[in-house]
Amino acid sequence: MIVALGVVISRELKKTFRQKSRLLASLVRPLIWLFVIGGGIGSIVPSDSNSNYQQAIVPGILGMTLLFGSMLSALTTVYDKESGVMRMFIISPMSSYGIILSKLASSTIAGIVQVIGLLIILFSLRIVDVGQIHITLFIFGLICTALTCSTIGLITAVLSKSLENFAAIMNFVIFPVFFLSGALYPIDNLPPALHWVAVANPFSYGVDLIKHSITSVSVTPDFGKVPDIIVLFVFTVIGVTFSSWRFSQESTSAALVSILSKGRKS
């Protein structure tokens, strides 16, 4: 199991680093948000030298990097199903629980690697000051958020059959999860309907936990630290249990098995 976990993680990292354009996009995307959206919206939001909009969305942008990194990586489970790599998993002595956990670990690490890349840029541009960070809580928050994003990705992966609905996943999962969280604005100011969606969105709590770890004035958390951690933990456990259960169902494996024989039932 440990060896298996190791090879799954190393495969994920190899793939992350080999796809240079994906890696580059994972760094450029948050920077565009930070400078273009942060600058644009920031210009119409009243600010002073201590508190500005760009600073306020740093936790949200870090969360976004994890959301895209971890979640897209967990979603490669769908690609693995199609390309045939999942065959290696289902004919190995690993349990469905083991397969899902190794995917969870590898996509969490892939997300963390990408966020480290972004942090190096943010620190060197002095957008984030190390002095304003509770390091332990910060790292813990990033890991919890990455786990949550991977879990969202895994749930999506076990529920979707093919990559054809990838655009749908983008529109109906990634964007709502990102926009309907506290990533870009405090959720208290949202209209009631959207407010409740944001409260039900586990990603909100990940971003919130990162907010708690940054002490600059402009960043105001929406919830408490402890509720954040409880929600993220409970969501991950339930999500992983559900994904493993779903993955072990014959309906899921039968679909995989039929790909093994060119979709023929013979």
Q: Which residues contribute to the site for other proteins (CB under 8 A)?
A: 1, 3-4, 6-8, 11, 14-15, 18, 83-85, 87-95, 250, 253-254, 257, 259-262, 264-266
CB 84 to other proteins: min, Å: 5
How far is the C-alpha of 2 from the C-alpha of 4, rounded, in Å? 5
Paired strand residues for 133:
214
State the first-to-last Cα distance of the chain, in angstroms, to the nearest integer. 34
Instruction: Tell me the closest approach of the beta carbon of residue 88 to other proteins, in angstroms.
Output: 5
Tokens of 109: 């690490």
Question: CB-wise, 4 or 163, nearer to other proteins?
Answer: 4
What's the closest the beta carbon of residue 95 comes to other proteins, in angstroms? Answer: 6
Nearest in space to 170 (alpha carbons), one of 101, 57, 78: 78
- Least distance from other proteins to the Cβ atom of residue 255, Å: 12
Choose between 241 and 258: whose C-beta lies nearer to other proteins.
Answer: 258
State how far the Cα of 228 lies from the Cα of 72, in Å rounded to an integer: 23
Task: Provide the minimum distance between the beta carbon of 24 and other proteins in the complex, in angstroms, as a whole number.
Answer: 17
- What's the min distance (Å) between Cβ of 249 and other proteins? 11
Distance of alpha carbon 10 from alpha carbon 76, whole angstroms: 15
What is the distance between the alpha carbons of residues 43 and 52, in angstroms, rounded to a whole number?
A: 9
Do 114 and 146 meet the contact criterion of CB atoms below 8 Å apart?
Answer: no
CB of 78 to other proteins, least distance (A): 14
Residue 207 tokens, joined: 């971003």
Closest CA to 110 of 23, 176, 34: 23
